[in-house]
């Protein structure tokens, strides 16, 4: 179903164990959401035999996430880009800075008024783009855009795979209300247990 809105933009800091597996902190509101562009790169291979394609494999390689937001506060900028606040409260970005991976959660309103919820498990952001323009005859808003690279997480799920995204529609059959109500209180962990 088509979506008609985008809001509730959260991030969760990641702590990595010595083996590289991730633990997620409590989600924090990042900013007010304006726009989200998500594109995916696939690793592809085709095996040809007897003059025809016999096997085609397409696997997630990485993705790009571009977020338009109303503002990126200093705390979020520190956590997402590696910039630091000096003792005077000035945000300082250095060429040696690099963002640490975070999880990103958000929701999209569907045409029927229900929501689709997302978590991207591992995103590394760069320095936000700044677009400024002098005020002319009309008012134009200038808002920051921050871009990140999405990768799979190191931690395996219950099926032994490395997920990169989860998503759920609140009106899908079999989705518990508790899953939706807790979506932004913790980063969702896949659950493959059966209720027997």
- Residue 159 counted as domain residue: yes
Q: How many CB atoms lie within 10 A of CB 73?
A: 13
Distance between CA atoms of residues 118 and 167, nearest Å: 4
Domain holding 82, by residue range, is 7-131+139-181
Q: What average pLDDT score do residues 90-100 get?
A: 80
Residue bearing the bigger pLDDT, 24 or 99: 24
Is 189 among the domain residues? no
Residue 46 is assigned to a structural domain of this protein: yes
Partners of residue 31 on adjacent β-strands: 9
Phi-psi region of 186 (alpha: psi -120 to 50; beta: other; left: phi over 0): beta
Name every residue whose Cβ is closer than 8 Å to that of residue 185 and which is 6 or more positions away in sequence: 26, 27
**Token reading at 40:** 């995916």
Quick check: is 193 in a domain? no
Chain centroid offset of residue 7 CA: 13
* Total number of domains in the chain: 1
Contacts of 168 (CB under 8 A, 6+ apart): 116, 117, 175, 179, 180
187 belongs to a structural domain: no
pLDDT tens digits, 97-143: 778 899 999 999 999 999 999 999 999 998 777 766 777 777 777 78
Is residue 192 one of the residues assigned to a domain?
no
Task: For residue 74, give the H/E element and its range.
Answer: helix 74-81
39-61 burial code (b ≥16 CB/10 A, e <16)? eeeeeeeeeeeeeeeeeeeeebe
Does 1 map to a domain? no
pLDDT at 195: 61
- Looking at residue 142, its pLDDT comes to 72
Tell me, yes or no, whether 49 lies in a domain.
Answer: yes
Looking at per-residue pLDDT, the higher value among 84 and 13 belongs to 13
Q: What is the DSSP letter of 14?
A: E
pTM of the entire predicted model: 0.85
Quick: pLDDT tens for 49-89: 888 888 988 888 899 999 988 888 888 888 888 888 899 98
Q: Is the pLDDT of residue 19 over 60?
A: yes
């Amino acid at each position: 179903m088509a979506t008609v809105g985008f809001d509730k933009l959260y991030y969760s800091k990641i702590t990595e164990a010595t083996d590289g597996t991730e633990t997620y902190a409590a989600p924090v509101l990042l900013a007010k959401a304006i726009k989200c562009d998500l594109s995916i790169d696939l690793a592809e291979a085709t095996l040809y035999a007897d003059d025809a394609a016999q096997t085609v494999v397409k696997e997630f390689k990485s993705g790009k996430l571009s977020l338009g937001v109303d503002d990126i506060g200093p705390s979020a900028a520190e956590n997402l880009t590696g910039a630091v606040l000096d003792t005077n409260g000035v945000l300082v970005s250095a060429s040696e800075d690099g963002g640490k991976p975070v999880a990103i959660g958000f929701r999209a309103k569907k045409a029927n008024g229900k929501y689709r919820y997302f978590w991207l498990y591992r995103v590394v952001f760069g320095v936000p783009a700044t677009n400024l323009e002098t005020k002319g005859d009309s008012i134009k808003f200038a808002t920051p855009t921050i871009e990140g690279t999405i990768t799979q997480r190191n931690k395996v799920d219950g099926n032994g795979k490395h997920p990169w995204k989860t998503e759920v529609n609140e009106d899908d059959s079999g989705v518990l209300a508790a899953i939706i109500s807790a979506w932004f209180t913790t980063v969702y962990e896949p659950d493959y247990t059966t209720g027997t």
